[in-house]
Every structure is written in C-alpha cells, then in structure tokens.
C-alpha cells in the first residue's frame, strides 16, 4: 500500500523527531506493506527494485539512516535504522550501508521484528556468523561496474571531507566485504557549501576526471550518456550527472525558531550548472516559475527549463560555455547566501516577531527566485546567440566573432592530420597542386602520387606524426625546387633577351623594317605588339 513517498509525508505530518519518523514509517510499512517506486508491479514487487534508503534529520541534530524493502510474499516490510554519531558524515549512494545491528541498544539501532528471520529463511544470512544487514539484503550478483557505481561516489565524498583518511578509490563498494566505513569524521567543519560542492562533483582533478580522455570529446564535456548499444563496458558514475533533475541541502538550526530554523537550499537541474535557492521551512508559497516544469514541454518562463537549457547548450562547446555558466552560478550562489544572512539580520535588527520574520523571508526569497530566473533566461539566450554554427560571436561588426575550431590535442588523434588520405588526382593535377602548394601552401593541398595501395600509411602502420613530417619535408623540398626552377628560367630569359637585342642590332635596316611591317598583320588582332 505504501511507497517511500507516502511514508515520508506521513512521518512529516506526525513527527517532530527523526526517531519518531523511523518508528512511524517502519510500523506502518510492516502493517500495510511497502513497495518500491521501481518495483514495476506493486502487487508483486521484485526485491531488486523494491528497496529505499533515507537519511532523516531533525532540529535536535539527531540523524538516522533508514533502510526498507518489501516483505515476505510481497506483503509487510523489512527495515532497519541506525543513528549517526554527532560528529560523523555519511553518504548513501544507491545502496544499503547499515551492517551490524545491536538491537539491544535501541537509542542507536532499530529494526523490524523479521529482520533476522527472513534473511535466514531465504538463505541470505547464516546464524553461525555475525548478522550484516547490507550483506544479507544489499547483495547483487558480481559485476565489474556495480562496485564502482556507488563505491566511487562514496570514496569521493569521503575524500572531500576527510582527505586525511587516504581511502582507496579503486576497491569499490561490496555488500559482503566491507571496504568503506559507514561514516567518517570530517577533517574540518562541514557547511551547506561543502555539500553543494560534493553534489557538483564529477571527479575534477582526480584520476577519474570526466573532463579528460577521449570520451570527453574535443571540448572536455563530463557528460556520459547511459550506455553504448551492442558494446560491453560502462562509464564512471559521477555525483553531478547529466540526467540530474534537482538536488537540495537541508539545514537544521536548533538555535532558531522552528519556522525559520530549517532551510532548504534547492537546485533545479544539474548541480554543477545550477543555483541553490534558499527556501524557509516556514514558507507557504513559492513562485509559479519555480513549480512549473514538464519535461516534455519547453517552457520559456520555468526556472527548471532555464537551467536545463544552459546545461544542454553547454554540450555544444563545453570548455568555453561552461566557464560562463560557472561564473554566473558562483555569482548567484553568493547572492543567495548573502540574502539569507541579510534577511535574518533584518529580522533581528527590527526585532520582528517570528510570523513577521517568516513573511519577510518568504517575500525576499521568492523575489530572489523570480529575479534570478529572469536573469538566467537572459543569460541563456546570450549563450544561444553567442555560441552557434561553430563560432563565438561578440558583436555585430565584421570582426565581431571568431571560429572556435578544435583543440590541437584532440585533432591530433583524428583523421584531421591525415587529410586527404583518400585523394588520388591525375598526375598532371597533382603536379600543378604540388607547384601551387610549394609557392603558397594555403591555396591547395600537396598530392603524393604512389604506385599502389602498398604505399598507404595504414599498410605500414605509420604514425600521423610521420606523415605530417613527411608532408612538411616534401613541401619544403618542392618549394626549394620551384625556387631553383624560377631562378634558372629567369636566367634563360635574360640570356635570350640579350642575344635577341644583339642580333637585332646586326640586322640591316631594310630587313628590320620588313619584319616590323609584317608583325602587325599577324598579331595586332590580339593587341600583342606595340609599334611605339
């Protein structure tokens, strides 16, 4: 009967503490049955898609990890929960993470009554070994990509907050062989900005940086679409990912009144490309633009579509366009944090009541959402007009744009440096092209005429560097030969001219006059001779 969405809503309505939420969701799921959103058929949910993992926090700064899956015979539920230490940081990346369950310590561990018995009955756990919830219920058939799908993200988040641990990034996460801790103690204090940084990560400046390598394309794009048809393999699964719809950071502050103590920093779209807007838990309204978004209908007013457009436009030329997105994103994230500080400072300076403060905060936050959305749309259209057709345009003048081309490191790995490898003109044309290229390499291409296909570059497995050197050397040689021929021809013409002048002087006057008289009869039609 109940999915994680319904359980969460009921817990929020009924509970003030995280432990209350855990008990409420667990009890209701056991009684009325739980199904996962991805279990296909709620009446017969498969275990592989019928589980969920949540992190639940409250204003008292208690944090619980909650795991749940459908129960025996597709009824009831199996669940477990563990309280997180006060100085601990955890990440739950599409997998269960709870292991030991000390159910005698109810202040820190809770679970359904069937948590052990069902695993034993299914053969997923043994009574002769210490019980491990993740080993029993989180097992997946061995595959080389699965341990890293969640494990790499787990390592990355832990490495950001606790680099001193030096955790191994390559061991992966394994249900039956623990490789990473349930939680870590951060080296420094963690803020909402820290979490935003983690959400925005695609392994920048690590060995797994998705802006590097051939798969990033010529423009260093970190996006990796799901799979390649008919090819075995996988991509790195980053934290910020191209298909991300939204993300949020929930901040609790027990030293503030309830209605302003909770802040949701909410982002529409891909985390690495979007702004995190502050929303107070006491707000009762949000701007229409923030709530309207249908994925199959483009909406030029929607906040989500504004960020979605710039994210997708960046794929045209990521290395250049994302710089602009990053600059704007930093600007508006900074403004959002400043707005959060100044509005609450105003509440204090004016000694406003909680209700008046909530009204002030709600008005300020909603206005910021609307103005930022409008500004982002203007920014989006600037990107559309500035980067298109292989150019970056600056203004409407004749020199107001530039061809952005391709980076050399990528072009050197493509057919670009081999062109024209499939071009075999007639010998006469090739000779003319060679002479032209020798004089001005930019006016044509240098043709290399060979006797047979055995001379093709591929046949000898010659590198592109060899061919480039060969072509340059041949062009240099052709240029030298052309210059020598021109010099020799000039010498011959000078010699011929001097000889002709000498012979002319030796001619008698009558013969010369006859020749001069006869020439116009044959040549004047073309205007080739002047009698002056």
Which residue, among 437, 314, 297, 452, has the nearest Cα to 383 in the 3D structure?
Answer: 314
State if pTM tops 0.95.
no
55 contacts: CB under 8 Å, gap ≥ 6: 63, 64, 65, 66, 84, 90, 92
User: Is 307 in contact with 270 (CB distance < 8 Å)?
Assistant: yes
Residues 405 and 448 in one domain: no
Q: What's the rounded Cα separation, in Å, for the pair 242 and 322?
A: 13
Name the band, by pLDDT with cuts 50, 70 and 90, for residue 531.
very low
- Least confidently predicted of 26-35, 374-383, 440-449, 457-466: 457-466
Residues 404 and 433 in one domain: no
Q: How high is the pLDDT of residue 195?
A: 97
Mean of the pLDDT values across residues 443-459? 40
Query: Considering the domain boundaries, does residue 152 fall inside one?
Result: yes
Domain termination residue (choose one: 357, 380, 413)? 413
- Quote the mean pLDDT of the chain: 85
Residue 483 has pLDDT above 50, yes or no: no
Query: Considering the domain boundaries, does residue 323 fall inside one?
Result: yes
Residues 501 and 391 in one domain: no
163 or 443: whose pLDDT is higher?
Answer: 163
Which residue, among 192, 186, 215, has the nearest Cα to 203 in the 3D structure?
Answer: 215
Q: How high is the pLDDT of residue 331?
A: 98
Residues 407 and 438 in one domain: no
Name the band, by pLDDT with cuts 50, 70 and 90, for residue 446.
very low
Q: What's the rounded Cα separation, in Å, for the pair 496 and 74?
A: 106
Q: How high is the pLDDT of residue 472?
A: 52
Residues 308 and 374 in one domain: yes
213 contacts: CB under 8 Å, gap ≥ 6: none
Count of alpha carbons within 13 angstroms of residue 362, beta-carbon side = 15
Q: How high is the pLDDT of residue 311?
A: 98
User: Is 20 in contact with 7 (CB distance < 8 Å)?
Assistant: no
Q: How high is the pLDDT of residue 518?
A: 42
Name the band, by pLDDT with cuts 50, 70 and 90, for residue 440.
low
Q: What's the rounded Cα separation, in Å, for the pair 395 and 249?
A: 40
**pLDDT tens digits, 164-193:** 999 999 999 999 999 999 999 999 999 999
Residue 241 has pLDDT above 80, yes or no: yes
Backbone angles phi, psi at 77, to 5 degrees: -165, 160
Residues 388 and 447 in one domain: no
Structural domain of residue 92, as residue ranges? 1-190
User: Is 383 in contact with 310 (CB distance < 8 Å)?
Assistant: yes
Residues 149 and 269 in one domain: no
Residues 153 and 295 in one domain: no
Name the band, by pLDDT with cuts 50, 70 and 90, for residue 453.
very low
Mean of the pLDDT values across residues 490-514? 45
Query: Considering the domain boundaries, does residue 258 fall inside one?
Result: yes
Mean of the pLDDT values across residues 425-432? 91
Highest mean pLDDT among 244-258, 361-375, 393-407: 361-375
Q: How high is the pLDDT of residue 82?
A: 98
Residue 257 has pLDDT above 80, yes or no: yes
Domain termination residue (choose one: 398, 413, 428)? 413
Total tally of structural domains belonging to the chain: 3
Name the band, by pLDDT with cuts 50, 70 and 90, for residue 436.
confident
User: Is 438 in contact with 482 (CB distance < 8 Å)?
Assistant: yes
Query: Considering the domain boundaries, does residue 205 fall inside one?
Result: no
Residue 530 has pLDDT above 50, yes or no: no
Residues 400 and 445 in one domain: no
Residues 433 and 388 in one domain: no
Q: How high is the pLDDT of residue 146?
A: 85
Mean of the pLDDT values across residues 368-375? 98
Residues 445 and 404 in one domain: no
Query: Considering the domain boundaries, does residue 208 fall inside one?
Result: no
Name the band, by pLDDT with cuts 50, 70 and 90, for residue 488.
low
Strand partners, 401: 393
Name the band, by pLDDT with cuts 50, 70 and 90, for residue 126.
very high
Residue 404 has pLDDT above 70, yes or no: yes
Q: What's the rounded Cα separation, in Å, for the pair 312 and 307?
A: 9
**pLDDT tens digits, 259-299:** 899 999 999 999 999 999 999 999 999 999 999 999 999 99
Residue 77 has pLDDT above 50, yes or no: yes
**SS3 category, 262:** strand
Name the band, by pLDDT with cuts 50, 70 and 90, for residue 451.
very low
**SS3 category, 503:** helix
Residue 493 has pLDDT above 70, yes or no: no
499 or 47: whose pLDDT is higher?
Answer: 47
User: Is 148 in contact with 168 (CB distance < 8 Å)?
Assistant: no
Q: How high is the pLDDT of residue 37?
A: 77
> H helices within 15-107, ranges in order?
18-32
Domain termination residue (choose one: 394, 413, 432)? 413
Mean of the pLDDT values across residues 343-352? 95
50 or 462: whose pLDDT is higher?
Answer: 50
Per the omega criterion (within 30 degrees of 0), is the bond before 408 cis?
A: no
Q: What's the rounded Cα separation, in Å, for the pair 28 and 15?
A: 14
CA 206 to chain CA centroid, Å, is: 15
Mean of the pLDDT values across residues 377-382? 98
178-190 in b/e form (b: 16+ CB < 10 A) is eebbbbbebeeee
What percentage of the chain has pLDDT greater than the value 70?
80
Query: Considering the domain boundaries, does residue 322 fall inside one?
Result: yes
What percentage of the chain has pLDDT greater than the value 90?
68
Residues 399 and 440 in one domain: no
Mean of the pLDDT values across residues 492-499? 48
Q: How high is the pLDDT of residue 433?
A: 84
Residue 423 has pLDDT above 50, yes or no: yes
**pLDDT tens digits, 139-154:** 877 776 789 999 999 9
Residue 221 has pLDDT above 60, yes or no: yes
Residue 96 has pLDDT above 70, yes or no: yes
Torsion sign over Cα 119, 122, 124, 130: positive
Q: How high is the pLDDT of residue 94?
A: 87
Q: How high is the pLDDT of residue 421?
A: 84
């Amino acid at each position: 009967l109940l999915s994680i969405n319904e359980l969460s809503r009921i817990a929020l309505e009924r509970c003030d503490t995280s432990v209350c939420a855990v008990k409420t969701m667990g009890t209701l799921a056991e009684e009325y049955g739980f199904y996962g959103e991805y279990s296909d058929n709620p009446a017969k949910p498969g275990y592989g898609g019928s589980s969920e993992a949540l992190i639940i926090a409250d204003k008292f700064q208690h944090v619980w990890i909650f795991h749940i899956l459908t129960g025996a015979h597709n009824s009831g539920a199996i669940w477990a929960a563990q309280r997180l230490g006060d100085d601990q940081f955890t990440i739950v990346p599409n997998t269960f993470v709870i292991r030991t369950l000390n159910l005698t310590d109810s202040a820190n561990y809770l679970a359904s009554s069937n948590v052990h018995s069902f695993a034993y009955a299914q053969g997923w756990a043994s009574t002769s070994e210490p019980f491990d919830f993740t080993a029993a219920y989180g097992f997946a058939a061995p595959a080389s990509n699965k341990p890293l799908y969640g494990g790499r993200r787990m390592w990355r988040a832990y490495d950001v907050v606790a680099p001193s641990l030096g955790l191994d990034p390559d061991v992966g996460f394994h249900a039956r062989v623990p490789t990473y801790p349930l939680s870590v103690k951060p080296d420094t204090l963690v803020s909402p900005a820290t979490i935003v940084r983690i959400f925005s990560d695609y392994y920048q400046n690590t060995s797994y940086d998705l802006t590097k390598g051939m798969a990033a394309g010529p423009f260093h794009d970190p996006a990796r679409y799901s799979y390649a048809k008919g090819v075995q393999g996988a991509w790195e699964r980053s934290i910020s990912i191209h298909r991300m719809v939204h993300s949020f950071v929930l901040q609790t502050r027990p030293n503030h009144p309830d209605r302003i103590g909770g802040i949701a920093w909410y982002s529409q779209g891909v985390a690495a490309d979007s702004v995190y807007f502050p929303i107070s838990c006491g707000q009762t309204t949000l701007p229409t633009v923030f709530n309207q978004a249908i994925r199959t209908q483009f909406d030029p007013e929607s906040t989500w579509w504004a960020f979605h457009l710039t994210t997708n436009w960046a794929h045209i030329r990521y290395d250049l366009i994302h710089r602009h997105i990053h600059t704007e994103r930093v600007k508006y994230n900074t403004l959002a944090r400043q707005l959060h500080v100044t509005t609450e400072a105003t509440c204090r300076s004016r000694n406003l009541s909680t209700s008046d403060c909530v009204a002030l905060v709600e008005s300020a936050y909603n206005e910021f959402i609307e103005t930022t959305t409008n500004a982002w749309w203007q920014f989006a259209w600037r990107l559309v007009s500035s980067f298109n057709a292989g150019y970056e345009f600056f203004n409407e003048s004749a020199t107001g744009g530039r061809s952005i081309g391709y980076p050399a490191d990528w072009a050197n790995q493509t057919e670009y440096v081999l062109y024209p490898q499939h071009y075999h003109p007639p010998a006469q044309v090739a000779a003319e092209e060679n002479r032209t290229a020798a004089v001005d390499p930019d006016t044509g291409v240098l043709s290399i005429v060979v006797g047979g296909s055995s001379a093709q570059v591929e046949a000898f497995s010659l590198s592109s560097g060899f061919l480039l050197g060969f072509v340059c050397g041949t062009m240099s040689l052709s240029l030298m030969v052309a210059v020598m021929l021109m010099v020799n021809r000039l010498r011959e013409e000078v010699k011929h001219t001097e000889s002709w002048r000498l012979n002319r002087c030796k001619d008698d006057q009558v013969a010369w006059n006859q020749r001069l008289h006869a020439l116009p009869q044959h040549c004047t039609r073309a205007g080739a001779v002047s009698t002056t």
